[in-house]
Amino acid sequence: MNDTPAVLLTGANGGIGTPTALELARRGFLVYAGVRRTGHGPFDGADGIRELRLDVTDPDSVAAAIDRVTAEHGSLHAVVNNAGVIVQGPLELVPDDELLRQFAVNVLGPIRLLKAALPLLRTGRGRIVNVGAPTAYLPMPMNGPISASKAALHSLTTALRGELAAWSIPTSVVVPGLVDTEVFTKAAAAQRAAQVPPERLALYRNHLAAAAQAGAKQKPEPTTGTVRAITAAVTDHHPKAEYFSSPNARILSKLLPRLPRPMRESAIRKAIGLQGITPPATAPVH
Residue 224, number of CB atoms within 10 A of its CB: 14
SS3 label, residue 221: strand
Size of the chain in residues: 286
Selection from 106, 82, 86 nearest residue 24 by Cα? 82
Is the residue at 72 inside a domain? yes
Range of the domain at 142: 6-181+221-259
Those residues with Cβ within 8 angstroms of residue 137's Cβ, 6 or more apart along the chain or in another chain:
151, 154, 252, 253, 254, 257
Residue type, 255: L
Angle among Cα 2, 30, 158 to the nearest 5 degrees reads 100
Q: 171-175 and 242-244 as β-strands: parallel, antiparallel, unpaired?
A: parallel
pLDDT of residue 212: 84
200-253 confidence digits (pLDDT tens):
888 988 988 888 888 888 888 889 999 999 999 999 999 999 999 999 999 999
Residue 243 CA to residue 176 CA, distance in Å, equals: 9
Question: Do residues 85 and 182 make contact, with C-beta atoms less than 8 angstroms apart?
Answer: no
Q: What is the DSSP letter of 181?
A: S
Residue 43 CA to residue 255 CA, distance in Å, equals: 39
Residue type, 140: M
- What would the mean pLDDT of 50-54 be, rounded to a whole number? 96
Q: Give the domain CATH number at 175.
A: 3.40.50.720
Please tell me the least confidently modeled range out of 10-19, 108-117, 180-189, 210-219.
180-189
* pTM of the model as a whole: 0.92
Is the residue at 98 inside a domain? yes
Helix (H) or strand (E) holding 113: helix 109-123
pLDDT of residue 111: 97
pLDDT of residue 149: 97
Is the residue at 202 inside a domain? no
Residue 188, pLDDT > 90, answer: no
In the chain, the number of structural domains is 1
Is the residue at 252 inside a domain? yes
Question: Do residues 182 and 15 make contact, with C-beta atoms less than 8 angstroms apart?
Answer: yes
Residue 181, pLDDT > 80, answer: no
Residue 278, pLDDT > 70, answer: yes
- Give CA separation, 122 vs 23, 49, 148, in Å: 24, 22, 30
Those residues with Cβ within 8 angstroms of residue 197's Cβ, 6 or more apart along the chain or in another chain:
none
Strand runs labelled E in the chain = 6-9, 30-35, 49-53, 78-81, 127-131, 171-175, 242-244
Residue 87 CA to residue 109 CA, distance in Å, equals: 16
Is the residue at 94 inside a domain? yes
Question: Do residues 145 and 87 make contact, with C-beta atoms less than 8 angstroms apart?
Answer: yes
Is the residue at 36 inside a domain? yes
Q: What is the DSSP letter of 220?
A: P
**195 phi, psi to nearest 5 deg:** -85, 85
Q: What is the DSSP letter of 179?
A: B
Is the residue at 273 inside a domain? no
Is the residue at 152 inside a domain? yes
